[in-house]
Structure 1
Amino acid sequence: MSDLWMPGAEILDIGDHAPTDGGPAKAVAHVTWDKNATKAKPADLVPYGTLKTYFGSNASGRAVAPHVLWDPFTGRVAQFVPANSRSKSLADRAGGTRTNRAGSVVIQVEALFFPWCRVNGKTYESLVDTPRKGWDELHAWVASWGVASSWPMGKPNGFVGKRDERIWRMRSGWYAHAQVPENDHTDPGSWPDFPAASKPGSQTKQYEPFPGTAWFSMGRKSPIVARMHDRLVAVDCNRYQSSANKDVIGSGDVASYEAWQRHLGYTGSAAKWPPGPASWSKLQVPKS
């Protein structure tokens, strides 16, 4: 079963959960667009913490909260409702398609961004110009819920709306806010490419896929554990007392992996054992 809460995300459960209607799994791409800036007059990006508090604690923000807020400059993610609940970031008129519920999941992602925002003195015209930190992990979590890595109405290219309710009802994939029926917003304007999948026989280095949270049980013996051990040492997160029995999960693995998660910026429960898919992907444990 896929994770209801994205591994590595900060959980701010607003508690307003409701089921979706079933059908093709979807994700919806938004940007927060909390300021209107121009090339001539750029504006400082609104702090991540401000938007996190708005969606997580403010009554007006909770009423329009997405599933996740994603900061493409730092990779931070906050999540407000579980994947299998509807969220409320889409307009939903009575009598039409239930936009926020129209799929087995309708995972809504708000990227912290507006055109011509300024971060550390640099101005960014479009979302694809940002560092896009955390996108691979976010995409992997969304894909784990059956959302196709495609844009049924076309990848966002400019702030224009193109809506086809038939496609919306019938096809799984990612949709721009500008493409959702009953909505009049034109965001996100652009969106990162989907991560390239490794192809059999390619020269791309192959890494061990995430084996699942339950796999990381104390005492498990596997060559994957030994390769994880070596990678944790290589990234300067060595908290091992020795290298004896390094193919068996023990307390040294727990301490070393938690050091790795802290190195990535995770805090609190997100930095605790066991590993999650986001931090595992970044560790790049090689296949044999």
Structure 2
Amino acid sequence: MAQAWLPGASRLPSPGDSGAMLGGAPRTVWFIWPADPQGVSARSVAQRLIQLHRPSHLVWNPVTGEIVQLLPPTRAGGGLAADRGRNGRICVQIQVIGSAREPFTDTKLDGLDDILAWLDSWEVPRRWPAGPPLPYPHSLTAERSKRLWARGGHFGHSQVPGTREGDPGSIDIARIIGEEALNLEVPLPGRELRLLQEV
């Protein structure tokens, strides 16, 4: 059963959020909070997000494994424009401390398994509909497809319709959703054509 608060994470409840969810496929959006994970704590970033009135659901330091939760998934985070963050049964926004120029998936990812297990319990599909995020700064002009967004799953901030940001950069999505899920999601060349011919 899904729990509103990630087991084992520190809690720093935000006094405000962006409203109730609008329904639809569940999804997760990965952001970058530009800072050195060796010297900046997840709690300090969470405090700053609350001050800015832009709370995410989680702030994660992948080097130290520190995770701080600000909101339950049933409330919208403040990192996306307009009502985009209210799309889906849930739209979990995760701020990862790091750099868009240096993929956080190149670090040890301490705490990722706990985050993914929690997202699984909320039935966020282990798929990345828009494919791997582009490297920064090319990601600033990435396609932001509403059709792919509607499918739910995992997205980089740069892949969300209506955004202009370039994070999280060229992260290795296989390290997040797993090689097996990635192989199921991305068909081999020609496979789609064969499937169409069989219909």
Aligning the two structures, in what range does the TM-score lie when normalised by the shorter sequence? 0.7 to 0.9
Task: Report the Cα distance in structure 1 between the residues aligned to 2:176 and 2:14, rounded to whole angstroms.
Answer: 30
SS of the residue 1:142 aligns to: helix
Q: Distance in 2 between matches of 1:29 and 1:44?
A: 16
Aligned to 1:50: 44
Aligned mate of 1:143, from 120, 134, 138: 120
| Structure 1 residues 160-211: Cα deviation after superposition (integer angstroms, max 9, x where no partner) | 1221112212x020011001111000110115332467xxxxxxxxxxxxxx
**Consecutive unaligned residues in structure 1, runs of 5 or more:** 35-42, 93-97, 117-124, 198-288
Deviation at 1:53, TM superposition (A): 2.3
Tell me which of 176, 179, 183 is aligned to 1:193: 176
Query: 1:162 is matched with which residue?
Result: 143
CA distance in 2, matches of 1:53, 1:12: 8
| Compared CA separation, residues 115 and 154, structure 1 to 2 (3 A) | closer
% identical equivalent positions: 27
Partner AA of 2:22 in structure 1: D
User: 1:20-31, aligned counterparts within 5 Å?
Assistant: 20-31=21-32
- Residue deviations 1:114-154 (CA, integer Å, cap 9, x gap): 156xxxxxxxx321111111111111111211110010111
Q: CA RMSD in A?
A: 1.9
**Shift of residue 155 of structure 1?**
2.1
* Aligned residue type for 1:68: L
- Is the Cα–Cα contact under 8 Å of residues 15 and 81 in structure 1 kept in the other structure? no
2: CA distance, partners of 1:73 / 1:10: 16
- Larger Rg over CA atoms: 1
Name the TM-score, length of structure 2 as normaliser: 0.79
Deviation at 1:64, TM superposition (A): 1.1
**4+ runs deviating over 4 angstroms:** 43-46
In structure 2, stretches of 5+ residues that fail to align are 181-199
Q: For this pair of structures, how many residues does the alignment match?
A: 171
TM-score (norm 1): 0.56
Distance 1:4 1:185 in 2: 28
